Amino acid sequence: MPTIRVTGLHVRHRKTVALDALDLDFGPGVHGLLGPNGAGKTSLIRVLATVAEPSGGRVEILGENTGEQRRRGTVRRQLGYLPQEFGYYPGFTVREFVAYVAWLKEMRTADAPAAVERAVGRVGLADRIDTKVRTLSGGMVRRVGIAQAIVNDPRVLLFDEPTAGLDPEQRVEFRELLRELGASATVIVSTHLVEDVAAACTEVTLVDAGRVAWRGTPGSLAALGESAGAAGSAGDNAIERGYTAALRAHRDSGRPQTLEGTAR
Amino acid sequence: MTGWHTSDDLVTRYTDGSLPEPDAWSLEKHLESCGDCAARVSQAVRETAAGVTLAEVREAVLGAAPTTSPASASASLSRSQSRSRRRLPFPSVGSRTARVLWAAGPAVRGAWLPAVLLVAFGAVALAYGADFDAARPLLLAVAPVVPVVGVALSYGAHADPLHEITAATPSAGLRLMLTRTAAVLAVSLPLLTLAGLLLPASGAPAAAAWLLPGLTLTLASLALAGYTGFRTATAVTGGGWLCAVLAPALTARGGLTARLADQLSAYLDGAPAQGAWAAAAVLCAALLATRRRAYDRLERR
């Protein structure tokens, strides 16, 4: 049973088409969203986060149509969203920032304090919880962003470039957290780092020029890379070669390709 | 509490990993509440190979975090420990005042509040410090714009650094916008009216005469924002008011103070003027109510 169902999604920014007749299903697990810059990854995440309005199509999250205002609140209560860029109020500490988002998410006052500490602990900032956000490094601010996203134990999590600014060790820890979250929630991670996908994702969706170029498991993308290696696809490892091979095949054919039985 | 405790056999099988998982879970559950059994199991685990590794990990973690307190060191040792960690007192979330301040949003926390104070105290200081007789008319001319500016700084992608995160929460939309507007009005209405009362009249309308226009302009800004966004809406209403008041006063002949006072009297004095403002306020409120859905996803990029 998919938790997110996207049908005929169309998103336009002024005159350029960001997403074009997109059909996608996502179930529980960690889904990697790969693609070149400007492919439409952020547009898709923002529509799923109910922040941006699609110009056409239908988005159903947890069985609710997000096009209906009354249903949107129900969805938003079970949503976690880490934008690519976000700001914070200068005076806020980590605890206040995450607690403020917990308040915005209409969490019960009695549950919020413990949930805030738990979320901050899960991103490894327990010892900085009473530090001002503005004094933290870029990587730490991103982890605060991850903490606010997971504070309400959401059933749907949307991370836009979550590993940007994290050092290699923090990325490894974050992937561990992703796997943990993916055990119960539907987690969608947009990234341009192929190794994130290989390590943490159960499924990969390749987006190119507003369309789905390829879908499958990281394993099958690597397998595609192995077979494409002989054909001279660029990339330093199998999954990178798979990425370039899938993109090239998609651009050559002009039609979406799906490996049967791999998409959930 | 039952009298049941873990047997030596159970402890041995738990430490060497041969205990079936469901039994291990129930044992762990018991350990959470029974200190004696927990101590026995810890002792047994410490004597195994895992105990050595655990000690090493513990040392490495404590070594890597020299400045942290014991509580945070244990938190980074294991997530499950941090979960069961004693909850710290948490005054900033629970208290009602903090929540109200949070609701108030960016304007009341940011540069707007000092600006309001500056207008209020500046007017009083001008009147009494510099014997400036146009203080009351000037204050009345500026006052309706103050809450409008507050609204402009309260909501939307341009004003709220948290907007992208806020927009994905159930609080987003008309309700949060109205909460923040209410905070802006709660600060500016009493403060500026009080300042006006302290000033010499200089032929200008009463100090409270701006309240209804101020409210109306604020509501009009909100209503217009549903079509154009907050920046344009507040520029139109606030700028429109200032032009309507200042332009005739500046172009006409005679003393500036008198002209300004006359102009303000025309807009603010008397039942018909105030009635018109009230009618406009009701109209804007009605428009807001019917178009409440427009505020849910206001900013499109």
Whole-Å CA distances, B184 to A17, B75, B92, B131, B288: 39, 41, 22, 30, 18
Q: Between A and B, how many residue pairs show a Cβ–Cβ distance under 8 A?
A: 112
- Of B88, B90, B107, the closest CA to residue B98 belongs to B90
The mean predicted confidence, pLDDT, of chain A is 87
A77 to B176: CB separation less than 8 angstroms, yes or no: no
pTM here?
0.74
Inter-residue contact A103 to B102 (CB < 8 Å) = yes
Quick check: B94 pLDDT over 50? no
Kindly write down the DSSP assignment for every residue of B83-121, as one continuous string: HHSPPPP-HHHH-HHHHHHHHH-HHHHTTHHHHHHHHHH
Residue A152: both structure tokens together: 């309400």
pLDDT band at B71 (very low <50, low <70, confident <90, very high): very low
A-facing residues of B in 83-102 (CB < 8 A) are 83, 85, 87-88, 90, 92-94, 99, 102
Q: Is B296 touching A (CB cutoff 8 A)? A: yes
Residue A176: both structure tokens together: 């561990």
Chain A residues touching residue B293 (CB < 8 angstroms)? 69
Quick check: B183 pLDDT over 60? yes
Q: In this predicted structure, which of B82-86, B144-148, B233-237, B251-255 has the lowest mean pLDDT?
A: B82-86
CA angle centred on A120, ends A115 and A125, rounded to 5°: 160
Chain A residues touching residue B92 (CB < 8 angstroms)? 95-96, 99
Quick check: A205 pLDDT over 90? yes
Chain A residues touching residue B163 (CB < 8 angstroms)? 87
Quick check: A29 pLDDT over 60? yes
Chain B residues touching residue A104 (CB < 8 angstroms)? 165-166, 169-172, 176
Percent of chain B with pLDDT over 90: 15
Chain B residues touching residue A153 (CB < 8 angstroms)? none
- Of A64, A59, A55, A65, the closest CA to residue A14 belongs to A55
* Residues B177, B250: Cα–Cα separation, whole Å: 36
A-facing residues of B in 7-66 (CB < 8 A) are 65
User: What does the pLDDT read at residue A261?
Assistant: 41
Closest CA in chain A for residue B159: A87
The mean predicted confidence, pLDDT, of chain B is 78
User: What does the pLDDT read at residue A256?
Assistant: 52
Q: Find all residues with CB under 8 Å of B221, minimum gap 6, and list them.
A: B148, B151, B152, B230, B233, B234, B236, B237, B238
B297 to A77: CB separation less than 8 angstroms, yes or no: no
A104 to B170: CB separation less than 8 angstroms, yes or no: yes
Inter-residue contact A257 to A250 (CB < 8 Å) = yes
User: What does the pLDDT read at residue B89?
Assistant: 39
Closest CA–CA distance from residue A152 to any residue of chain B (Å): 11
Q: Find all residues with CB under 8 Å of B9, minimum gap 6, and list them.
A: none
Residue B164: both structure tokens together: 């992208």
Mean pLDDT of the B137-162 span: 86
Quick check: A15 pLDDT over 80? no
B-facing residues of A in 204-263 (CB < 8 A) are none
